[in-house]
Amino acid sequence: QKEVEQNSGPLSVPEGAIASLNCTYSDRGSQSFFWYRQYSGKSPELIMSIYSNGDKEDGRFTAQLNKASQYVSLLIRDSQPSDSATYLCAVNPTGGFKTIFGAGTRLFVKA
Amino acid sequence: DVKVTQSSRYLVKRTGEKVFLECVQDMDHENMFWYRQDPGLGLRLIYFSYDVKMKEKGDIPEGYSVSREKKERFSLILESASTNQTSMYLCASTEGGATGDTEAFFGQGTRLTVV
């Protein structure tokens, strides 16, 4: 089992719809969770971090964390073509310096 | 504006060459990382450093070494480049602290091709 798993996609949604991206992780003691966005040919950039169970909202983005289910998700409301990118889920395992990344989900938002 | 800068955007090297990838950050961050990114495999950690002259192996250290002589600079060395090291290499840095629950800032990436 991979430490951080994501559906590779591609996920295709129409403009204005909600895009839902999902991620599961294997280390039950993990404390820190991140979503990065990576445009083609560019470096990843952080869009959301979440540390406690529940929802965290920032503009059109909502991160959801369920530690009991070892599940973290990212919702993008009112999706725009500019949201088309690969979204990387990242987790800091228990007591670790290093961040474990999932393989990423490619999102396409159709105009 | 915070910055992580990698020395080259694109590199083409021959099999067996010694290759140096340089990374410099201007944020006074304690931790620095080298990842490689391949299609379908995501970001895989090669080495990281949490202090000057300190280094730790990541998940795929074979064929690589690193050097951190100054806090702001972290170098990745391919001792004898091989074709299976053709990849995108990303350097990142984070603030200090054992919890690691801080944002990672990435360099622009170096696309290395070994022929």
Is the predicted pLDDT of residue A49 greater than 70, yes or no? yes
Lookup result for tokens 């080298």: B34
B107/A contact by beta carbon, under 8 A: yes
Which residue in the set B42, B48, B103 is minimally distant from A98, CB to CB? B48
Is the predicted pLDDT of residue A55 greater than 80, yes or no? yes
Task: Share the mean pLDDT of chain A.
Answer: 92
Q: What is the reported pLDDT for B103? A: 82
Cross-chain Cβ contact B109/A43 below 8 Å: yes
Q: Provide the phi-psi class of B99: left if phi over 0, else alpha when psi is between -120 and 50, else beta.
A: alpha
Mean pLDDT of A72-98: 90
Q: What is the reported pLDDT for B65? A: 97
Handedness of CA A24, A26, A32, A36 (dihedral sign): negative
Q: What is the reported pLDDT for A48? A: 93
What are the DSSP E strand ranges found in chain B? Answer: 4-6, 10-13, 19-25, 31-38, 42-49, 56-57, 64-70, 73-78, 87-94, 105-106, 110-114
Is residue A107 within 8 Å of A75, Cβ to Cβ?
A: no
Residue A101 C-alpha, separation from nearest chain B C-alpha, in angstroms: 6
Residues lower than pLDDT 50 in chain B: none
Q: What is the reported pLDDT for B99? A: 54
Output B112 or A1, whichever has higher pLDDT.
B112
B48/A contact by beta carbon, under 8 A: yes
Is the predicted pLDDT of residue A68 greater than 70, yes or no? yes
Exposure string for B31-70, b = 16+ CB within 10 A, e = fewer: bbbbbbbeeeebbbbbbbbbeeeebeebeeeeebebbbee
pLDDT digits (tens, 9 = 90+) for A6-15: 988 899 999 9
Handedness of CA B41, B113, B53, B107 (dihedral sign): negative
Query: Which of A27-36, A91-100, B58-67 shows the lowest per-residue confidence on average (mean pLDDT)?
Result: A91-100
For residue A96, name the pLDDT band (cuts at 50, 70, 90).
low
Is residue A76 within 8 Å of A60, Cβ to Cβ?
A: yes
Q: What is the reported pLDDT for A87? A: 97
Cross-chain Cβ contact A43/B40 below 8 Å: no
Is the predicted pLDDT of residue A97 greater than 80, yes or no? no
Is the predicted pLDDT of residue A95 greater than 80, yes or no? no
For residue A82, name the pLDDT band (cuts at 50, 70, 90).
very high
